[in-house]
Amino acid sequence: MLLTLSSPQKTVSLAAQLAARIEPGDCLALTGELGAGKSTFARGFLRVLSEDPALDVPSPSFSLVQPYDTVKGPVFHYDLWRLSGPDELYELAWDDACEAIMIVEWPQRAEELLPINALHLTFSYGEAENERKVLLEGWPEERLTGLAL
């Protein structure tokens, strides 16, 4: 499913709608160029699940993982850019995270350890200045039906 997001607020709206559908054991795999909307999406998603619109959501670029307690249970936000290889994931609570909710930036670095049922969100620039495109793949269509932007 390819969606056009006309503003950062639409990216946050998509995050909120997916937060309403997410369950423990689900993984959101975020891919895209720098500035394409991954961080905006992750912040919106975590703020909705924590029920705290002012929640500080730092990038996990240096820590590699940032855990959160939310209304749907634990969420682990990973940024795997600096990961040397998938074997390092075991030092980052990966097994526990696979039973919780995961947001994974740079998911290709997890290789075969990324959950096979992950929802892949590929962000790209749109034609207008604030416009973004996002391709959603991996979940059954009925789980994405009704997304309204």
pLDDT tens, 21-52?
999 999 999 999 887 888 899 999 999 999 88
Residue 16 placed within a domain? yes
Q: Does any domain span residue 137?
A: yes
Print the domain residue range for 69.
2-143
49: in domain: yes
pLDDT in tens, 93-114: 898 899 999 999 999 999 999 9
Domain count, the chain: 1
Per-residue confidence (pLDDT) for residue 131, from 0 to 100: 87
pLDDT at 30: 96
| Domain assignment present for 117 | yes
Q: 41, 13, 17, 20: which is closest to 29 by C-alpha?
A: 41
CATH number of residue 29's parent domain: 3.40.50.300
Q: Which helix (H) or strand (E) holds 105?
A: strand 101-105
- In this structure, is residue 62 part of a structural domain? yes
CB count within 10 Å of CB 114 equals 21
Cα 42 from Cα 142, distance rounded (Å): 23
88, part of any domain: yes
Residue 148 lies in a domain: no
Overall pTM surpassing 0.75 (yes/no): yes
Domain assignment of residue 149, yes or no: no
